[in-house]
Amino acid sequence: QVQLQESGPGLLKPSETLSLTCTVSGDSLNDFYWNWIRQPAGKGPQWIGRIHTSGRSSYSPSLKSRVMMSIDTSKNQFSLQLTSVTAADTAVYYCARNLGFGVSHWGQGMSVTVAS
């Protein structure tokens, strides 16, 4: 059974860069799409973007100018970078894998707070 685990700093200051890594166990990264999704407290999820093991990626238009994703199949990891964070980026961040065009496997989520 595939498992995903997010890691990274939980507290950032405004204008800093958020860097999160998702480590996948129980299966290889090959031939799947891997997503980042966030959910502010009390609100619905927001899709941030996805990356394929081929390196193809796509991002939410509202975040595209600040987002970069990468993937390292040798480490079974993929990563998210979000630049120039503000309080509005405070959320639980999930990494997740697709099942067809649905998102079937989710990490447990990582709380990220942006505060001065």
Partner 1 sequence: QSALTQPASVSGSPGQSITITCTGSSRDIGGYNYVSWYQQHPGKGPRLIIYEVSLRPSGVSDRFSGSKSDNTASLTISGLQTEDEAQYYCLSYATGSLYVFGPGTTVSVL
- Binding residues for partner 1, rule: CB under 8 A, are 35, 44-47, 50, 58, 60-61, 94, 99-104, 106-109
Nearer to partner 1, 61 or 116 (CB): 61
Kindly tell me which of 12 and 33 has the beta carbon lying closer to partner 1: 33
Question: How far is Cα 2 from Cα 31, in angstroms, rounded to an integer?
Answer: 14
Burial of residue 55 (number of CB atoms within 10 Å: 0-12, 13-18, 19+): exposed
Task: Please give the structure tokens belonging to residue 11.
Answer: 């507290």
In the bound complex, what is the minimum distance in angstroms from residue 44's beta carbon to partner 1? 4
**Beta carbon nearer to partner 1, 65 or 102:** 102
